Amino acid sequence: MRVIAGKFKKSNLFSVPGKTSRPTTDYIKELIFSVIQDCKDQTILDLYAGSGGISIEALSRGAKFATMIDFSDKAIMTMKKNIEKVKVSDQCRIYKKRAVSFLKKSEQKFDLIFLDPPYNKNLVNKTIATILENEQLNKDGKIIIEHSSHEQLSAEFAEKVFFQKKNGDTTISIIQN
């Protein structure tokens, strides 16, 4: 796993050990960042963050600050190693929490919210609903969802989806506020 663009380009990152985490492929990262285009000076929320690779990619491309959420001890340990490796500890905050629990207690708003929950666990729609109910997306902000192609977005979000692409078992959906 590596950073594909920006100031940390070609930096190799650590993956979460074991088989509980699914690193975002280079192809999917390219797709996401080609659609959102600019993340310069944006605030990032990375839910189900795993290794933190997507946040580090955004920081590499000019994002201002990344908040990373995961409940796994292995993921937290891996995020810390990756943050240390690219020297961005002043631009990150890590919380060991369940994503929905964090969202219900946080009053922060974000420009870009990345959401990559475990596949087929019915977490996608619940998490999106919580983000929108709590108004945690800034004006013109985006929710970028990497989800199982078998787990469809709820019809209530259909009008907010401005991009969707399926790639095998993975679908990328982007909702704009």
Q: Which domains does the chain have, with CATH numbers?
A: 30-176 (3.40.50.150)
Cα separation, 155 vs 159, whole angstroms: 8
SS (H, E, C) 82-109: HHHHHCCHHHEEEEECCHHHHHHHCCCC
The one-digit pLDDT tens for each residue of the chain (177 residues) are 899 999 999 999 999 988 777 778 888 999 999 999 889 999 999 999 999 999 999 999 999 999 999 999 999 999 999 999 999 999 999 999 999 999 999 999 999 999 999 998 999 999 999 999 999 999 999 999 999 999 999 999 989 999 999 989 999 999 998
CA 115 and chain centroid, separation: 4
Q: What pTM does this model have?
A: 0.94
* Rounded Cα distance, 73 and 79, in Å: 10
